[in-house]
Amino acid sequence: MTLTRQPENARTRNKATGAAPIRVAADAAGEVPERWRKEVACILITDKEIAIRVAEMSRQIERDFTGRELVVVSLLTGTVMFLADLIRNLSLPLRLDFMGVSSYGAGTESGELVFTKELRISVRGRDVLLVDDILDTGRTMSRVLAKLKALKPRRIRTCVLLNKAARRAEPVEADYVGFDIPDFFVVGYGLDFAERYRNLPFVGVLHPQVYAQGKKKKVEF
Ligand code: IMP
Ligand code: MG
């Protein structure tokens, strides 16, 4: 299977979040770097597109939080690259903390949620920006939001790089969304498959045989 991206149509941006739509059409060649061609079927979002959109998101957040001091709460581990790029563009006073949430299993389906790291900074009475890599079924986001709300922050806004609306199982949406993407399991720019591919500078889709191997827990490269 080969996939390719279709160019963004600015007119179809999400009105509420400003998210750029990403669509893929089957059956055309991608521009995947030679090094990754055996594993990556196509690039869904290039590093340049990510950089432009993340800078836009930072400006949007900056406007909404002018005059406030933020506590950025970022979920480990998939947010690493997104978070670094997002906050370096934020000219606001902020403090940064991490929460560890893990859904066990090496596959592409999320399993049971386990908190692996708790907050160290108090968010009571604070403005909180919750950052995650991708909003998929929404289970992670709703669990984390419930936990944060119990800590009585002044307000919470949510920010994700990617949104897969088609997969939603919980009634939760993000306030800031980088890209609305179709129902593909994606990797790169922090996102993993079985803890791999976080270092890709783009967001891409793996060849189906890679996922199939991962499920059988026989990933060897
Ligand atoms: P949710 O709880 O189903 O919304 O899933 C959220 C978490 O699942 C994200 O924080 C990711 O860690 C992971 N996840 C969901 N979809 C993908 C994907 O396409 N690629 C990589 N990780 C994903
Ligand atoms: Mg995650």
Say yes or no to pLDDT of 215 above 70. Answer: no
Beta carbons within 8 Å of 96's beta carbon, 6+ residues apart? 71, 72, 74, 87
Tell me the domains of the chain and their CATH numbers.
3-23+34-188 (3.40.50.2020)
pLDDT at 212: 86
Ligand 1 interacting residues, C-beta cut-off 6 A: 78, 110, 132-141, 185-187, 191
pLDDT category at 219 given cuts 50, 70, 90 is very low
Say yes or no to pLDDT of 180 above 70. Answer: yes
pLDDT at 103: 78
From the list 71, 168, 79, 175, the residue with the least C-alpha distance to 131 is: 79
Q: Pick the catalytic residue: 136, 175, 180, 183?
A: 136
**Do residues 180 and 198 lie in contact, with contact meaning Cβ atoms separated by under 8 Å?**
no
Residue range 70-81: mean pLDDT, rounded: 98
User: 30 or 123: which carries more pLDDT confidence?
Assistant: 123
**Do residues 75 and 101 lie in contact, with contact meaning Cβ atoms separated by under 8 Å?**
yes
The residue whose C-alpha atom lies closest to atom 12 belonging to ligand 1 is 78
Q: Which ligand is nearest to the CA of 80?
A: 2
Secondary structure E strands in 77-143? 94-103, 113-117, 127-135
Q: Is 136 a catalytic residue?
A: yes
**Do residues 108 and 216 lie in contact, with contact meaning Cβ atoms separated by under 8 Å?**
no
